[in-house]
Chain A
């Protein structure tokens, strides 16, 4: 079943076309690696899907509904959750409260015991259980990243958007992170992950898409995409218009 259909979506900032006529589809339960040099529009594309930004044109069909330009909270309740490239947590709330939010207000809208169960499960998956009552502002960077993922998971999303979630982890944490995403993907969540770490992309993503200067320049089986001439040129920086 097609879960997500991004249909000729564009977004410009002034004269800059940050996302330019991007189209792709995703089947339910699959995982897509989204690559591209810095400034190629990956984060902007995630922002368009999560509703943080509205597209200038195009449609974003999710579960049969066009969500392009809908309010962020509506899109969240429809079943799309994300992490941010620059980590965002709620520092004055406890870890448990941080994670309760999407459990309470998100896709499934639980309350009381059930919300707490979902929240604790998300903390458990990300290894934060023993600090559930601590203040989120006291966490170090890596744990803040974990908390962000826990928060996204507690929404029980159908589509999860990860924006360089693995960046900044040390080698051990990276292996843990890869295993965690693997298990999420195995549990049926559809995932788009923006990632620079090729090791992770190769391990996790059978399919990859590559952006350059706002355009989608490749989309297909990972090893084929990574050996594509236009992709290599884009990464070497001499492809003006691939």
Chain B
């Protein structure tokens, strides 16, 4: 109860931030909220089940592209609804065909998926509509976008918290540990994974849709940038993908770090990305939050 109150207070405080910051700082806040939402939504499926998905940008880009295609013909809420439905439909399709894959095969398939979607859209735009880039003219201010993104991040974390208390959450954690035991306990593996994957992917699609007006000009190479998928994974893993607040704890500092690196070292920054990935996996395999718990346990024991 107290935790919920603190979380809600924090949310209100964050919602008031745009009233006090510059345009540039607001841009940073939007970026941060975007990655908190992405990493939390990603962890909703991958964090519990240990199925590492690199399909994040496939859904994120699809959300952005949906807005680019529909923004002139439908009212904004309807555009978002379409994006959510397309994301969910795509997730069901992908889920049904891939969730029987395990380990590395799943990772590679999801990585390939983003590339496949990008190529399909490029092909469609070039050979059917004859245009490659599209413009997004929406009457949305940076504040509007920030608030929407903040809401999405809150929904991603809130939904995860809720799922953790349900049968679905217990089933997902069991699947993450040992699918054979999970199935022998009566858990319908395919259905459980499909539900969580679809929820996660739908949220990610919405993040892409909400973020898209910031670009104004959109083309496949921009919105299907694989770095988004990798960043999301690193952020969630850094904080602890199986913790409620882990993705947030990882996303905020890493987003700021990468902003700073990409401004100051635009050419070498992918190297840092790679190094960081390796460092996270080796030094903090269970994430910062678990690392802190370990430290606390060690010092607690020493204190006695």
Contact = CB atoms under 8 A, between A and B. Distances in A.
A90 B181 contact: yes
Contacts of B180: 52, 72, 88
Contact of A105 (B167, B173, B178, B242): B167
A105 B181 contact: no
Interface residues of A, number: 27
B186 interface: yes
A106 B176 CA distance: 18
Interface string B33-51: 0000000000000000000
A91 B167 CA distance: 19
B171 to A, nearest CB: 7
A76 B185 contact: yes
A42 interface: no
A72 B188 CA distance: 9
Contacts of B185: 73, 76, 101-102, 105-106, 151, 155
B170 A72 contact: no
A104 B182 CA distance: 11
Interface in A76-93: 76-77, 81-82, 88-93
A101 B170 contact: yes
A92 B176 contact: yes
Interface of B: 167, 170-171, 173-174, 176-178, 180-189, 242
B189 to A, nearest CB: 7
Contacts of A90: 173-174, 177-178, 181-182
13 contacts: A72-B180, A76-B183, A77-B186, A81-B184, A88-B181, A90-B174, A90-B177, A105-B187, A109-B186, A151-B181, A151-B185, A155-B185, A155-B186
A233 B23 CA distance: 87
A107 interface: yes
Nearest to B183: A72
A100 interface: yes
B24 to A, nearest CB: 42
A158 B125 CA distance: 60
A50 B185 CA distance: 11
Given A82-B184, A151-B181, A155-B185, 18 more contacts: A52-B180, A73-B187, A73-B189, A76-B185, A77-B186, A88-B178, A88-B181, A89-B181, A92-B173, A93-B177, A97-B170, A97-B173, A101-B181, A101-B182, A104-B170, A106-B185, A109-B186, A151-B185
A88 B170 CA distance: 17
* Majority-rule SS of B interface residues: helix
Contacts of A235: none
A35 B176 CA distance: 34
- 4 tightest A-B CB contacts, nearest first: A105-B186, A90-B177, A101-B185, A72-B183
A97 B188 CA distance: 17
A92 B177 CA distance: 7
B213 to A, nearest CB: 41
Nearest to A111: B167
Interface string A46-84: 000010100000000000000000011100110001100
B167 to A, nearest CB: 6
Interface string A93-132: 1000100111011110101000000000000000000000
Contacts of A93: 173-174, 177
